[in-house]
Amino acid sequence: IIHTCESNYASCWSWLDNPASQVSAHYVVNEDGSEISQLVREQTRAWHIAALYDCTLNRRHECWRNGVQSNHFTVGIEHAGFASQDSFPRAQLDHSAALVCDITRDRAIPRDWQHIVGHGQLQPADRTDPGPHWPWIAYIHRVQALCGELVVDDSAQFNDSVVARTQVPAGWQATDTTPDYYGGGYHWASTSPSATDGVEFSFYVAASGTRTVDARWTSGTNRVPQAPYAVITSAGDTLQIVSRDQRTGGGSWHTLGTWTFPTGWNRIVLLRRAPAGAVVVADAVRVR
């Protein structure tokens, strides 16, 4: 959970360190990221949010946690500064992102907008931090990049267009009906044995090399048992078409394989060419 202190760094950590405050946080990042204080061990509960978890505030993610005090399962990171700021220093964001990369890697926490969230999002009654100008999209991208991954979502607004692009053919519909998607939702289309269209997840490779590619979907009984993912290089060569069962395993990453990609825009194309009567879900592709 991302916070702003509503004060400078020294006031922030000293107040959190004072038992009279009745509040605490695991980490405090100073104004330019040059110093980060750890005040509470990650495995120990800190008092940084005063709200019971409500999944309707978090894209209906993990509703089985509803009613649990959010301090029980979250790590709190305070940032020197104010929710009313117009912007945040680049160096503060960078060092904060490096910290979040480290925490998520150690604890196998997915790096997305349901797992890295603002205090105000989960406690909207009386908190707004880190405020409207925290650069959420770029911040998560920075966390991902520092952890060596690039995610291509089915919606352009969640992509870093310098390295990730998506192309959704007409006829694939946008929805967020089934939770645990990446980004703000996903697209779906009906299977058809003669269909040639597919959702293109393109990613830029700056220097030719080996990459492992994962895919994510939302699952359900109506999903296709063999969703075909075509792996196509920047030269236009189809390296392989691999199939994955979308009836189960929704909301987590599934490895498609490891290939050597040339420099340029390579892509994964999710096809709907399969026996009729099922649904194909295009959510996101991860390259690492």
Query: Which structure tokens are listed for 15?
Result: 């107040």
Q: How far is the CB of 97 from Zn ion (least distance, A)?
A: 18
CA 3 vs. chain centroid, Å, equals 18
What is the smallest separation between the CB atom of 227 and Zn ion, expressed in angstroms? Answer: 40
In terms of CB distance, is 119 or 286 closer to Zn ion? 119
* Beta carbon nearer to Zn ion, 37 or 190: 37
User: Which is nearer to Zn ion, 121 or 191 (by Cβ)?
Assistant: 121
Nearer to Zn ion, 8 or 175 (CB): 8
Least spacing, CB of residue 104 vs Zn ion, in Å: 19
Provide the H-helix boundaries in 124-269.
Answer: 136-146
Shortest reach from residue 239's CB to Zn ion, in Å: 47
Instruction: From 77, 120, 123, select the one nearest 100 (Cα to Cα).
Output: 77
The smaller minimum CB distance to Zn ion, of residues 23 and 242, is found at 23
**Would you list the DSSP string of 38-103?**
E-S-TTS-------B--GGGTTT--GGGTTSBGGGG---EEESB-TT-S---HHHHHHHHHHHHHH
Contact residues toward Zn ion (CB under 5 A) are 3, 119, 129
- Minimum distance from residue 119 beta carbon to Zn ion (Å): 3
Residue 138, classed as helix, strand or coil, is: helix
CA dihedral sign, ordered 150, 156, 162, 164: positive
Distance, in Å, from the CA atom of 85 to the CA atom of 31, rounded to the nearest integer, reads 12
